[in-house]
Amino acid sequence: MQVSDIEKIRIDIQSEGNSALSLMISRIGDMMRQGNGNFPANEFVACSDIDPNIFLQLIEGMDNDIFNFATVYDHPDKSGLPITYSIAFQGKDEKTLIFEFRFGTETKDTGELLPYFEGFISKALLLTNDWYALEEKEENQH
């Protein structure tokens, strides 16, 4: 898979059956998000179209070589609260590559890949925070 092949991205953060974030964004601007990365995620789910440039900004600067490392990383030390990050990339051909990280909030020495994806998740949140807040505000006014 190449970065240019990505059509959809799905990000989930969970711990012990509780969700902190569920986010799906597509190249054409479909967007779904629940939560802000903190436990537990709020109940509000936003689904609507967004500017497709947000997707392009999210994937900007990604390295094609990263996809060679798609697999499940189950860290043996899950000190603190057990947590799972799941990041899925769906390509034009419906092929999906998934990165899953299982670790603990107090786990040390997580390697270089987990911090890379923590930065990616932070970027996704930053790019969609204004949209999510506006959707929630509009929902609360009804």
| Structural domains of the chain, ranges and CATH numbers in brackets | 3-140 (3.30.1560.10)
Tokens standing for 114? Answer: 């987990």
The lowest-confidence range among 17-21, 41-45, 54-58, 70-74 is 41-45
Task: Look at residue 137 in the predicted model and tell me its pLDDT.
Answer: 86
Map tokens 């998934």 to a residue.
98
Tokens standing for 104? Answer: 């603990």
Whole-angstrom CA distances from 5 to 17, 93, 135, 140 are 32, 8, 29, 37
Taking phi first (over 0 means left), then psi (-120 to 50 degrees means alpha), and beta for anything else, what does residue 19 get?
beta
Q: What is the mean pLDDT of residues 112-137?
A: 92
Does residue 142 register a pLDDT over 80? no
96-104 and 72-74 beta bridge pairing: parallel
Q: Distance between CA 76 and CA 35 in Å, rounded? A: 28
**pTM (predicted TM-score):** 0.92
